[in-house]
Amino acid sequence: MRQIKINSTEGAEIVLANDVKNYARISTDVDDTIISRMITQARIWCENYISRDIVEKNRTYYIPETNGTFDLPFAPVSSISSVTSDGTAVSYSVLGLDNETIELDGGYADKVKVTYITSGLSDSLLQSAIMQLTSTYYDNRSDFATDAKGDIDVVPSNVKNILNSYKSMYL
């Protein structure tokens, strides 16, 4: 099974709490910590949706076997630190517009592990998406559903969205 791990987050958020406060017309400073957390939550949701890193990250990708050519998830790739097969360094070439395709010089390989850094993305459309989603999270902080007696009936959909980022995904 293929696996992807975030070793560390290298970059900073592309949207700040003040950006969201201006966008959503929030005038108090009381919720700045909550808004900052929601910005991160919204950015992670957006990254998972587009399968690209918005904030630079150091990642490790593992595939049990390959025919020698494969794509790295969450490109664009800034640099590749190492490529190993069964614990031994292997030579490779980098292909693609965003440096996301790896071609192993030896072809077929088992237990391939690639450690790399993504370059992240930043543009006004991504910033708008993050601000809009953060504003929605802020406006719906108490997202829950109740039954006829007023008891909480189902897991809030917003909670499901938060937890989806942690679910195992199979490629």
**Tens-digit pLDDT profile for residues 19-31:** 999 999 999 999 9
Tokens of 33: 């910590």
The C-alpha atoms of residue 62 and residue 77 are separated, in whole angstroms, by 16
Give the pLDDT band of residue 155 (cuts 50, 70, 90): very low
The C-alpha atoms of residue 57 and residue 44 are separated, in whole angstroms, by 12
Give the pLDDT band of residue 131 (cuts 50, 70, 90): very high
Q: Name the pairing type of β-strands 88-89 and 77-85.
A: antiparallel
Find the helix or strand (DSSP H, E) in which 115 lies. strand 109-118
Of 122, 119, 129, 144, give the one whose Cα is nearest residue 41.
Answer: 129
Residues 6 or more apart whose CB falls under 8 angstroms from that of 161 comprise 45
The whole-number pLDDT of residue 170 equals 44
Give the pLDDT band of residue 139 (cuts 50, 70, 90): confident
Of 139, 144, 132, give the one whose Cα is nearest residue 49.
Answer: 132
pTM greater than the 0.85 cutoff: no
Contact 93, 148 (CB under 8 A): no
**Tens-digit pLDDT profile for residues 7-57:** 999 989 999 999 999 999 999 999 999 999 999 999 998 998 888 999 999
Tokens 């809030």 sit on residue: 156
